[in-house]
Amino acid sequence: MESNSFQLIFLILLFQLLYFTCIDYHFVSSAGTSKVGTCIETEKKALLKLRENLTDPSVRLSSWTDQENCCQWFGVSCDNKTGNVVKIDLRNKFSRNHELGGEINPSLLELQHLRYLDLSMNNFEGTQVPEFIGQMKELRYLNLSGASFSGSVSRFLGNLSNLQVLDLSFYSDQPAEKDLDWIKGLSSLEHLNLGGSDLSEANNSWLQTINDHFPSLLELHLPQCQLLNLPSSLPSLNLASLLVLDLSNNAFNTSIFPQWIFKLSNLVHLDLSSNNIFSELPDEFAKLTSLEYLDLSSNYGINGTLKRTLGKLCNLKTLILNDNSISGNITEFINALSECQNNSLETLNLSQNKLSGNLPSTLGYLRKLKDLQLRFNSLTGTIPETIGNLSYLEALYLTSNKMSGSLTPNIGQLTSMVSLVISENMWEGFVTEAHLLNLSNLKELSVGVKLGTNITLTFNISPNWTPPFKLTFLTIQSCQLGPKFPHWLKDQNELTSIIFNTAGISDAVPNWFVELDLKLDNLDMAFNTLTGKVPNKFQFNLLANVDLSTNRFEGPVPLWSSNVTSLYLRDNLFSGPIPLSICRELPNLSDLDISRNKLSGTIPLCMGDMNQLATLALNNNQLIGQFPDFSRNNLSGELPSSLRNCTRMFSIDLSNNQLSGLIPAWLGETMRSLKQLIWFYPVLFWQLEAFKVDLTDDEARKYQGSLKVEAKGKMLTYYNTLYLVNSIDLSSNGLSGEIPSEITSLYKLGTLNLSRNHLTGKIPTDMEKLRWIETLDLSINQLSGPIPPAIATLDFLTHFNLSYNKLTGKIPTSTQFQTKVDPTIFQGNAALCGPPLKQCVGDETTTSQSGRNDERETDDEYKLEKVWFFAVVALGYLVGFWVFFGTLNFKKSWRIAYCRFIETCILEFNERTCSFVMKMLGCLMRRRNT
């Protein structure tokens, strides 16, 4: 049975090979030309008309002239017997600069023998797909993918009954198709690709239509088609010939794997990635013995254990299951993979799951493996010695696991290795030249232990050693790379990313490193003890990141290329003023942190024009002047209007300075991304729109850095979750005036701290609008009037303080205010009364009267209870009496039996009494005689 199935698979694959070989025989033009056939004049003129309407910026069609044989033109092939044009292949295989454009001339209709038309990957800038293509009945192959056409094709392409290959993937922003009925006429179809089409309205019929009308279909590609419904079963399956099924990037929401898929016994390629499948990994995959490619990645809900049955698919070349919730022991799975005699596996990606266990020595039997990705799991143990057997291995990703132990030197035998990424584990011991000795193809190296743990891995490499590779990406973090700057990097002149974070380097940046003339995307040397001045000769690519934080660098603030967008220099010894040229040299900065240095002088006013700036940290320096800086400086004056250009500002912290004045109105008008404000009294609260948006908006998540926020009575420092903070802290200033009522429109506000100011007037009455507020501190002001009852309805309020004001009246009645509340939060308000403070005037009389009333009510209740008690007892007695004696009165037999029973009892009582009396008399007589 098994041999028959393999024979069937072989025949199908042979048929497909012969089919495409035939196409190539008739249509392929080597380098866009044909060496046989003589062009027919009428067809040559038709092609020249087509050329006239096309734009050709790269002159790809330069051979299309009247002087040449059109069968030798670029992209044109002719029948070698008749000379008819049978193939036009104008697919753009190059960059965007080579895209054809313009319009498609109807002269194509004169090519009556045309069987192959490929216009893919060009740019026709939204022009309509020509309807006359529907009249080209001889077409077998039509590819318009990625060509930027527009409009629906359902009206006219359904007539091409000879069409075998149709590829319309991502050809335009075509309108949604109500159904797929238009393809029913394509009865010869073997390859269908509608990727990127909007099939949301065809959800209930798409599979049935394809299943019923295309029994010869070999490939079906429907990625990113907005499909929601993935039927779990089919009444009858007619797709037995299907070899390729791609349903990736849809919106399937199912907890059941479709069972009809496991009946596609000839399936070679299956892609269900990036959907919403929530199901255990089925055992039925073992039925798909022909499977070579399986991608179930990024469903996030596929769970269960990684079973041996999946490892028995010996024809698998690619297995991609990353970004799911698959658990279990990886050891047994790899053991099963290794049991295949002719194991074909080349790519194995199980990253970002919940896998555990060790990598077994049988990993070395997967000799064809090229790409092994297991990062972000809970794997333990070390890398097996047999890793050295994987001579084809090009990528090894083990980042962020719990692996430990020494690194085997056999890694150095992997001559094909391009990416070796094994950081964020718990490695021990040494890295020597032996680990890197034969990695001549290495481009990416990432080694280290988990950040924040003890450094247990040391690089022990001779400074005179010359590596056999040229790296592009180098990450060595949380290792002992120093104390000297690694001299073995002296020839690494192709680096674009360098990360030496927490690498134990206590040295100056050497001149030879600067002379490498690198063009960097990322330079991170934070948390070392690097000394001296930062070289100003570094070159950076677009959107570069530089982090030199927490070192001992000194001198002026370094400025480099305008390509730098993130610059972190905090915790160093930089001194002098902020360079006046910073705005000109680094105009694209989005993040600037030069806090905790020795900077002095004023802040350049031009920084207000840096409209890409999202994060600015200047605290703990010695800055002075009028331009208001962020916290813990000695700044004075008012906020300059030039700051209004910082439209993407996320957070402003101006606390603990000597600033004066008011926050201007434009702060709320232009800074719509502002979510943290720690400074002065905002005149126009209602214009701070960012406090009204969803806390999880994507823009807020881009913020990097830290911020201290006083909330819930504590000073809290927020790092990775800073985007969740919505707060206004204007405490400890000289603010006066009333609290504007518009503040209650900031309904997403979490913290409001206006304490230690000179605020007057009443607390806004509609405080219930601040339904998410957790911290409210209005203490040490001059607020007057009653406490609004609405404050007592704030469910999330956990910390509030109204002490030392001039509040009056009774504290609102609320469980939240009167139980488990420290009375000190109301102290300093002489005219405030009610629990948990002293009783209000008049409450004592009311209480006394209430007590007497309660006493009277208690006496009355007691008397009433006594009456009811005796009434119930009497009623019970009467009922019991009449039930018993009434029965005896009406039931003669019961009356006789009862009388006999009483009579018997009396006689027995008398006899026992007489007997007892006689015994007692006998005893008395015997005592008297003695």
- Which helix (H) or strand (E) is 295 found in, with range? strand 293-295
- For 287, the token pair is 């039925």
pLDDT confidence of residue 822:
78
Stated length of the chain: 930
DSSP letter assigned to residue 449? B
CA-to-CA distance for 496 and 256, rounded, in angstroms?
Answer: 46
- Which helix (H) or strand (E) is 3 found in, with range? helix 2-27
- For 180, the token pair is 């797929």
For 393, half-sphere exposure in the C-beta direction (CA atoms, 13 angstrom radius) is 27
- For 30, the token pair is 């080597």
CA 356 to chain CA mean position, Å: 23
| Architecture of the CATH domain 647-846 | Alpha-Beta Horseshoe (3.80)
Which of 214, 203, 258, 261 has the alpha carbon at shortest distance from 238?
Answer: 214
Q: Position 909: which residue type?
A: F
- Which helix (H) or strand (E) is 776 found in, with range? strand 775-777
Which of 400, 403, 397 has the alpha carbon at shortest distance from 419?
Answer: 397
Which of 492, 408, 398 has the alpha carbon at shortest distance from 448?
Answer: 398
Could you tell me which residues are beta bridge partners of residue 617? 593
- For 909, the token pair is 């009582």
Helix axis angle, 892-929 to 843-890, nearest 10°: 100
CA 436 to chain CA mean position, Å: 35
Give me the residues of the chain with pLDDT under 50, please: 1-36, 626-636, 659, 680-706, 718-724, 820, 846-848, 850-851, 854
pLDDT confidence of residue 700:
45
Helix ranges (H only) for 766-891 are 815-818, 843-890
Could you tell me which residues are beta bridge partners of residue 600? 622
- For 740, the token pair is 């504007």
Q: Parallel, antiparallel, or unpaired: how do β-strands 101-102 and 54-55 relate?
A: antiparallel
CA-to-CA distance for 290 and 800, rounded, in angstroms?
Answer: 67
pLDDT digits 0-9 by tens, 231-268: 888 888 999 999 999 999 998 888 888 999 999 999 99
User: Taking a C-beta distance cutoff of 8 angstroms, is the pair 349, 325 a contact?
Assistant: no
CA-to-CA distance for 675 and 541, rounded, in angstroms?
Answer: 31
User: Taking a C-beta distance cutoff of 8 angstroms, is the pair 624, 648 a contact?
Assistant: no
Cα dihedral across residues 459, 460, 463, 464: positive or negative: negative
Mapping DSSP onto H, E and C, the string for 86-120 reads EEEECCCCCCHHHCCEECCCHHHHHCCCCCEEECC
Q: How many CB atoms lie within 10 A of CB 778?
A: 24
User: Taking a C-beta distance cutoff of 8 angstroms, is the pair 695, 723 a contact?
Assistant: yes
Helices (H) and strands (E) in the chain, counts: 12, 52
User: Taking a C-beta distance cutoff of 8 angstroms, is the pair 285, 262 a contact?
Assistant: yes
User: Taking a C-beta distance cutoff of 8 angstroms, is the pair 680, 659 a contact?
Assistant: yes
Is-above-0.75 flag for pTM?
Answer: no
- For 382, the token pair is 């070390």
CA-to-CA distance for 493 and 26, rounded, in angstroms?
Answer: 49
DSSP letter assigned to residue 203? T
Phi/psi at 593 (5° precision): -130, 105
CA-to-CA distance for 532 and 70, rounded, in angstroms?
Answer: 69
Q: Nearest-5° angle of CA 520, CA 521, CA 526?
A: 85
Q: Which residues contact 80 (CB under 8 A, 6 or more apart)?
A: 34, 36, 37
Q: How many CB atoms lie within 10 A of CB 535?
A: 15
CA-to-CA distance for 656 and 618, rounded, in angstroms?
Answer: 13
The CA-to-CA distance between both ends of the chain, in Å, stands at 120
pLDDT confidence of residue 661:
54
Phi/psi at 576 (5° precision): 85, -175
pLDDT confidence of residue 6:
41
CA-to-CA distance for 29 and 40, rounded, in angstroms?
Answer: 17
- Which helix (H) or strand (E) is 141 found in, with range? strand 141-143
CA-to-CA distance for 120 and 89, rounded, in angstroms?
Answer: 9
CA-to-CA distance for 339 and 183, rounded, in angstroms?
Answer: 45
